Structure 1
Amino acid sequence: MKTNWISFLLYLLIISGGQAQTIQEKLYAAGFENIQVQKKKDSLNIFFEHREFRSPYHSMHYAGLLLGQENLKNISWIPVYHNTPVGKYRAGTYEYSGLTQDDRQFYRHHNNFQEDYRFHFRVHPELSARFGYYSDPFQIKLNLILDSRIYLAPGLSLQSGIAIPVQNNLDAQDTRLRLAPSMLHYFLQPVNFHFFGLSLGTFYYDRYGFDLQYRYNNLNSAWSFGLETGLTGFYWMTSGSIYSEDANNLHAIADVEYRLPIENLSLKLSAGQFLFEDLGGRLDLIRQFGTVDLGLHVSATDAGVTGGFQFAFSFWPGTLLRSKKLELRTTEEFRWEYSYNNEEPVARRYRLGIPRLDDVLRQYKSDFIQNMK
C-alpha cells in the first residue's frame, strides 16, 4: 500500500511538471518571457512578461487564447514589468489582488533574468517640434532610436542604443550618428501598492543626472499618489564631442490622481518645482482608449502659463523579427506632448526613455483592465 501511495505522488509530480513545461514552451514561442508556473493546491499562478504589449490586459488575454479557455478556471496571471511582479489577476474575470509573501518568495527563487529574456532591439522615433515662426512655420527634429535593455540583476537594467538623425531644422545639432539616451534603471515593489523607480544616466531633452520616483497605487482604488525628484544638468552631443554643464537643476514634484466615474478617465494634479526651478502646478485630464492615451493639460508657474495636449500609443507593427534568443520590435509606447507656449520653460519635464510610473501603472488599474474585456 505504501509503495502505491509513493507511486501515485510521483505520478502527480510528473504530470504537474509536464503541464508547467508545456505552458512555458507555448507562451515563450509566442513572445512571452520570464515565464514561471507556480503550482498551488488546486490552482496555478503564471508569472510572465511580454514587452511588446503596452497594456497587461492584452498579454493576459493573449495567454488565455493560447492556453484555451477551458484551462483558465483555476489560473491567476501575475504580469511582470522590468523583471518585477506587479499584481495578481484572476483569469477570465481579471479581478486584481496584491501579491502574497509566498508569491514573492516563489518568484525570487525561480527568477532567472540571465536566461529567461530574449535580447531585444527596440525601434522608436524621437520627435521634437515647434510651430508658428513666420519664416519657418514647421520646425522639426526627428531621430530614429535603436536601443536595447539588458537585465543585470532582479529589477536592475541597463538601457542604451544609437540615435539615427533623420531631419533637423529645429536646432544646430548635426546629423551624425550618436549615442541614444542611456541609463541604469531600477524598478521595485517592496510591498504591495508601493512602487519605486530610480534612473541614472542620460535622458531626453538633453538632460543627464539621476531621477527618483515613488508611487502609492492600490490598483483597485480610484486614488493614487506620487512623488518624483531629480538632479540634472544640460549636455549636448554633436560632431563627436560632448559638452556638458553642472548638474544643478533640482526638481521635486508631488501629484495626486483620481479616476473619475466616467469610464477610463483620470484627473491628475501635480505641483512643486519643475525642471527649470519654476514653482507652480499642472492639471492633466487623461482618457484611455484601449492601447491609446489622449490627454489635455494646463500649467501655471512663476515662469508663465501654458496648455496643450499629449498622446501615447504602441507603435505599429510590433514584432519585426523573433527567434529563440533575439527579438526586433517597434516600441511598446510612443509618447508625444505639445504645449502652445514653447518658448518659455513652463512646467517642463524630461522623458526618461521609459514610461514614468504613473503612465505605467495606469495600464494596470483593475477597472481599466475589466473595461477592456
Structure 2
Amino acid sequence: MTRAHLSFFLLLLVFTAGFRPALAQRSVEDRITDRLVDRGFESVHVASVDGRLEVEFENRVFRYDVTAMQEAAEIVFSTTGAPDGLTLVPLRRGVRLASVRLNREGYLSLRRETAEPDEAPSIISARTDVPVRTYERGLSEIFSGGRNSSSFKLDVAVHPQLVAQFGSFSDAVRSQINLVPAASINLWYGMQLYGEVIVPVQNDLDEADDEVRPGIISANQTLRLPGGVFVSASAGAFTRDRYGFDFEVLSSFIDGRIDVLGRIGRTGYA
C-alpha cells in the first residue's frame, strides 16, 4: 500500500467515525417516530435539541392529552434510555401548546410510586413559552406537518341534538330531536374548516325546522406567536341565517398559571 493510499484510508476512517454518532442518533429518532406513528400519533417530529430528545406529536387517539404524553414517554423510554432527558411538545393543529421536560429515572420512580410527591416538580416541569420552532423549519414542513401529518385528514362524527321548552298546560313540554353529522378538516398549520348538517328526527317546535338544513359552517385560523401569545380568528355561518366572526388574543404568564384573553366579535342575520 502506497503512502497516498494509506493517507486516503486514514482520512476516510476519520470521516466515517465522525459521522457515526449522528447516524446512530438518527436511527434512534427514526425508531421512535415509527413507534409513535404506529400507535396513532400524528404530525410526529423527533429531534435532538440541546442534547435532549424533543418529541412533537398531535394526539387524536386518547381522550386526554395527559394520557397521550404518558404513552409517548413510555414509547421513548422503552426505545432509548434518553439519558440526557426528554422534552414532549403536544400540538393542536400543528400549533405548539407547551413543553414538558422529563428525566428517565425520575419518571420511572413516579410510575413505580417510589418517588415522594414533593419530588415531582424536579422530575416533570411544564412550560408554555416554548420556541416557535415550526416557523424555523420552513414552509415545506409547516404544510407537511411531520410524519403522519394531521393536515388534509377528514374527520366525520354524528352526534344527537335535543331541544326542549315548556309549553302550555295541555302540552307541558315540547321538544325537538335532530341528528347532526359533522365534518372537519385541517388544511395547514392552525387552519381548520368545520361543517354540519342538521337532520330532523322529531319536532314539536318551529315547522321550519322540519327540513334538512345546514348547521354551523366555519373556518378558524390559529397561530402561536413568540412569547406564548396565541392568536385565533374565526368566521362562519350559524343556524337560523346568522353569520359572525370572532378574533381573540390569548397570552399566558407564569408558565400558564395566569392567562389574559382579549376578544372581539360580531354576529348578525343574513
2:42/2:58 contact within 8 Å kept: yes
2:94/2:145 contact within 8 Å kept: yes
Q: 1:211 to 1:4 in 2, by over 3 A?
A: same
Is residue 2:41 matched to residue 1:10? no
Number of equivalent positions: 235
CA deviation profile, 1:183-223 (whole Å, cap 9, x unmatched): 11101111232112111112368631211122222362432
In structure 2, the partner of 1:49 is 58
Q: 1:15 to 1:189 in 2, by over 3 A?
A: same
2:44/2:149 contact within 8 Å kept: yes
In structure 1, the partner of 2:149 is 116
CA deviation profile, 1:70-109 (whole Å, cap 9, x unmatched): 7465211111112211121113444122212556524866
1:162/1:179 contact within 8 Å kept: yes
Q: Which has the larger Rg?
A: 2
1:49/1:80 contact within 8 Å kept: yes
Is residue 2:115 matched to residue 1:86? no
In structure 2, the partner of 1:184 is 219
Is residue 2:211 matched to residue 1:200? no
Q: 1:219 to 1:2 in 2, by over 3 A?
A: farther
1:158/1:183 contact within 8 Å kept: yes
CA deviation profile, 1:280-334 (whole Å, cap 9, x unmatched): xxxxxxxxxxxxxxxxxxxxxxxxxxxxxxxxxxxxxxxxxxxxxxxxxxxxxxx
Question: TM-score, length-normalised on structure 2?
Answer: 0.73
CA deviation profile, 1:4-50 (whole Å, cap 9, x unmatched): 23212333333222222222222222221111112224211111111
Work out the CA distance in 2 between the residues paired with 1:205 and 1:223.
37
Out of 32-41 and 64-73, give the one that drifted further: 64-73
Work out the CA distance in 1 between the residues paired with 2:236 and 2:214.
12
Q: 1:125 to 1:24 in 2, by over 3 A?
A: farther
Output aligned runs, 1:1-373, within 5 Å. 1-53=10-62, 55-68=64-77, 71=81, 74-91=85-102, 92=107, 93-97=123-127, 98-100=129-131, 102=133, 104-106=135-137, 110-111=141-142, 112-113=144-145, 116-117=149-150, 118-131=153-166, 134-203=169-238, 207-218=242-253, 220-234=255-269, 245=270
Measured after TM superposition, the shift of residue 182 of structure 1 is 1.2
Out of 80-89 and 9-18, give the one that drifted further: 9-18
Query: Could you say what secondary structure the match of 1:100 adopts?
Result: coil
Work out the CA distance in 2 between the residues paired with 1:230 and 1:5.
63
Work out the CA distance in 2 between the residues paired with 1:107 and 1:127.
46
Work out the CA distance in 2 between the residues paired with 1:108 and 1:96.
28
Measured after TM superposition, the shift of residue 158 of structure 1 is 1.5
Work out the CA distance in 2 between the residues paired with 1:107 and 1:204.
39
Ranges in structure 1 where 5+ consecutive residues have no aligned partner: 235-244, 246-373
Work out the CA distance in 1 between the residues paired with 2:248 and 2:38.
34
Root-mean-square deviation (Å):
3.0
Measured after TM superposition, the shift of residue 51 of structure 1 is 2.7
1:38/1:106 contact within 8 Å kept: no
Ranges in structure 2 where 5+ consecutive residues have no aligned partner: 1-9, 108-122
Q: 1:176 to 1:26 in 2, by over 3 A?
A: farther
Q: 1:159 to 1:221 in 2, by over 3 A?
A: closer
Question: Displaced runs of 4+ in structure 1, greater than 6 A?
Answer: none
2:132/2:224 contact within 8 Å kept: no
Q: 1:197 to 1:127 in 2, by over 3 A?
A: farther
Out of 166-175 and 155-164, give the one that drifted further: 166-175
The structure where strand makes up a greater share of residues is: 1
Work out the CA distance in 2 between the residues paired with 1:212 and 1:4.
59
Question: TM-score, length-normalised on structure 1?
Answer: 0.55
The one-letter code of the counterpart of 1:99 is V
Work out the CA distance in 2 between the residues paired with 1:173 and 1:87.
46
The one-letter code of the counterpart of 2:67 is H
The structure where helix makes up a greater share of residues is: 2
Query: Could you say what secondary structure the match of 1:195 adopts?
Result: strand
Query: Could you say what secondary structure the match of 1:12 adopts?
Result: helix
2:179/2:200 contact within 8 Å kept: yes
1:88/1:96 contact within 8 Å kept: yes
Work out the CA distance in 2 between the residues paired with 1:8 and 1:71.
23
